């Protein structure tokens, strides 16, 4: 009986410790310029399994998310965002994908930072 009670508490403790690591708030830089970039970045992230919340600020270039680390990693999210044209963390967007972005979204071109990007939502 003592072994059963002891085992129960061990398993309960492991379960509680595991569930506390479930959701993690993450922040990293993502390159982009405008509201179209914002839509592309956020939609790409939120469609991923394990991403519970995604928000990108076009002025600060800061991306914030809540992820379930059991289903995806920060690197997974960064890689997926890069795959749609936005440099993210250690991941660089493929040149062909970047070149197919609308002109205002081409953040590598210094001239685009001077464009009127509007405040569309």
DSSP string, 27-48: EEEB---SHHHHHHHHHHHHTS
Share of the chain above pLDDT 70, in %: 76
> Quick one: pLDDT at residue 119?
52
CATH class of 23-114: alpha beta
**What is the pLDDT at residue 10?**
61
Q: Where do the domains of the chain lie? A: 23-114
Q: Report the C-alpha gap between 90 and 95 in whole angstroms.
A: 15
pTM of the model: 0.78
Q: What confidence tens digit (pLDDT) does each residue in 6-61 have?
A: 555 565 566 555 555 689 999 999 999 999 999 999 999 999 999 999 999 999 99
Q: What is the pLDDT of residue 22?
A: 84
């Amino acid at each position: 009986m003592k072994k059963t009670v002891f085992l129960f508490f061990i398993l309960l403790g492991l379960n509680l410790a595991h569930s506390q690591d479930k959701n993690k708030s993450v922040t990293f830089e993502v390159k982009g310029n405008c509201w179209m970039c914002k839509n592309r970045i956020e939609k790409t992230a939120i469609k991923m399994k394990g991403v519970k919340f995604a928000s990108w600020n076009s002025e600060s270039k800061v991306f914030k998310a809540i992820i379930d680390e059991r289903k995806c990693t920060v690197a997974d999210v960064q890689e997926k965002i890069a795959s749609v044209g936005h440099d993210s963390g250690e991941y660089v967007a493929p040149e062909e994908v970047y070149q197919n972005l609308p002109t205002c979204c081409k953040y590598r071109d210094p001239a685009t930072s001077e464009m009127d990007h509007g405040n569309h939502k």
